[in-house]
Amino acid sequence: MSKKQIVVIGSGFAGLSAATHLAHHTDSSITILEKNESPGGRARKFEHQGFVFDMGPSWYWMPDVFENYFGHFGKKPADYYDLVRLDPSYAVIYGEQDVLDIPADLTEFKSMLDQIEPGAGENLDKFLAQAKYKYEVGIHDLVKKPSRSLLEFASPKLLVDMIRMDIFQSMSKHVRKYFSHDKIIRLMEFPVLFLGETAENIPALYSLMNYADIALGTWYPKKGMHEIIQGMVSLAEEKGVKIRYNAEVKHIDVKNGTAKRLHLTTGEVIEADIIIAGADYHHVDRKLLSREYSNYSEDYWDKRVMAPSSLLFYLGVNKRLKNLRHHNLFFDEPLGPHADAIYTNPRWPEKPLFYASVPSITDATVAPEGMENLFLLIPLAPDLEDSEEMREKYYHIIMDRLEKITGQEIRSHVIYKRSYSHSDFKADYHAFKGNAYGLANTLFQTAILKPSLKNKKVKNLYYTGQLTVPGPGVPPSLISGGVVAKEVIQEYKL
């Protein structure tokens, strides 16, 4: 029997993961078609006069997920990149002279909480015990389910597990059962921002993120997050995966419910027996397929709760900066009663939250000697109209705060500046509504309630990545690729 021709669209974490799993477990011919000139999707990098910028993800959490990924192929992360644990893990800035450095050591962390709220350290033990249980069940079991049927969750043990994991309670209420001080509450609610919603709208199941943060730690791959992608590319190619760059798919031909070929924007036509779409789900569903083969209507997509988009600034600074850590969360402005506006309200915020990363504090290779690599991120509602004038306005809003709080002049020392926002996410990734993180992990967008990993009308078309199971984020995307590969192998008996 001839080899199956499997085509994966997109070389992000999920696409690379799916392709590598398939190449490892089958004798199929695997080709990745990447729209852009380099791999990684949102985790691409670019360089400018000695500055090396990660374009997207900057947090390395859940190291066990990466260990399990590479371990599946008889490898380990250290075969491809060097990890260091950050200490402090990150800084939380509540205002001038009001900064918490979050220690990597758990005993120190508990002592810090006790100084803010007596008894909080003991309560943290109880909180983390639950969070650990959720992490072990969630990350090592639930997220690996394809979520195509309720029967996957029908075992008595799993039903008990799901009840114990507080899926019907909000993260906001859950945190307040253990802590009362506003600083600690905001600190404990911060990790769920990676899931694309506020704590009021995220199930308490996701306190597992706190376990990942506090117990498993914050890490950094030397030379930047793109080193993970380069390692994954090396492994994929070692397994025989072919990666083609500047190969954007324009249309997928379907005949009698089977996808037959992919048309590229260059005019080239590629035959395929199986297609896995790691590109933006909405784009594939509504733009690459004829409408009769779409999984979902435009109305369905418009009603999805999207994770936020972002306004990003990549800055090269010609001096060393003070009073900043590798990761810095600016909570110097109160969230107020309409905190969810950054996710749902289509307007620019008056007092935005923002995040600053200075990887050159940890890694001298990402900036010229004596200089800093500064990455700024403002979370924004999806589907905003952005312009150079609006980007510049918000650049100065957050730089005013950054300079005031850290007590230094920065703007006059910026020798390189690039911004990136909604229109760029759409242009580079066909991102639905310009989203940066995918689909928010609300209760009604979890597991079987997410867009399905298989097309219901095209029998050989599958989906992977942050808009399907298990959800947004780098570790879930890694897992997503493995989940869809397993489904393909089982259904085609490869």
The model's pTM is 0.97
Quote the tokens at residue 128.
């983390």
pLDDT in tens, 97-133: 999 999 999 999 999 999 999 999 999 999 999 999 9
- Predicted local distance difference test score (pLDDT) of residue 337: 44
Per the DSSP assignment, residues forming a β-bridge with 165 are none
**What are the DSSP calls for 472-492, one per residue?**
SSHHHHHHHHHHHHHHHHHHH
Query: How far is residue 10's CA from residue 364's CA, in Å, rounded to a whole number?
Result: 31
Distance CA 256, CA 434 (A): 33
Q: What is the mean pLDDT of residues 199-218?
A: 94
**DSSP-based three-state secondary structure for 411:** helix
What are residue 89's DSSP bridge partners? none
Of the pLDDT bands very low, low, confident and very high (cuts 50, 70, 90), residue 345 is: low
Residues 6+ apart with CB under 8 A from 346: 381, 382, 383, 384
The per-residue DSSP string of 167-219 comes to: TTSBHHHHHHTT---HHHHHHHHGGGGGGTS-GGGSBGGGGHHHHIIIII--E
> What does the alpha-carbon distance between residue 220 and residue 83 come to, in Å, rounded to a whole number?
6
Residue 130 has phi, psi (to 5 degrees) of -65, -45
Cβ atoms < 10 Å from Cβ of 238:
13
> Averaged over 195-216, what is the pLDDT?
92
d(CA 70, CA 77): 6
Identify the band that residue 335 occupies on the pLDDT scale cut at 50, 70 and 90. low
DSSP lists the bridge partners of residue 88 as: none
The yes-or-no verdict on residue 1 having pLDDT over 70 is no
Confidence check: pLDDT of 338 > 50: no
CB 8 within 8 A of CB 274: no
Per residue in 11-45, pLDDT tens?
A: 999 999 999 999 999 999 999 999 999 999 999 99
Please give the Cα distance from 479 to 475 (Å, whole number).
Answer: 6
pLDDT in tens, 136-164: 998 988 899 999 988 787 777 766 666 78
Q: Which of 3-7, 332-336, 407-411, 427-431 has the lowest mean pLDDT?
A: 332-336
Mean pLDDT of 72-84: 98
Q: Does domain 5-79+223-303+440-492 have CATH number 3.50.50.60?
A: yes
Mean pLDDT of the chain: 94
With respect to CATH, is domain 125-209 assigned 1.10.405?
yes
The whole-number average pLDDT for the span 325-341 is 76
- Arithmetic mean of pLDDT, 198-216: 94
**Number of other CB atoms surrounding residue 420 within 10 Å:** 20
| Boundaries of every domain in the chain | 5-79+223-303+440-492, 125-209
Res 159: pLDDT: 65
Beta-ladder partners of 29 = 5
Gyration radius of the chain's alpha carbons: 22
What's the confidence (pLDDT) of residue 343?
A: 58
State pLDDT tens for residues 431-477: 999 999 999 998 899 999 999 999 999 999 999 999 999 999 999 99
Identify the residue whose tokens are 């995307």.
477
Per mean pLDDT, which range of 158-162, 165-169, 253-257, 318-322 is the poorest? 158-162
The confidence band for 344, taking pLDDT boundaries of 50, 70 and 90, is: low
Q: For tokens 């997220």, what's the residue? A: 143
CA-to-CA distance for 274 and 253, rounded, in angstroms? 12
According to DSSP, the residues that pair with 358 across neighbouring strands are: none
For the chain, percent of residues with pLDDT exceeding 90: 86
- CB-CB contact of 72 with 63 (8 Å): no
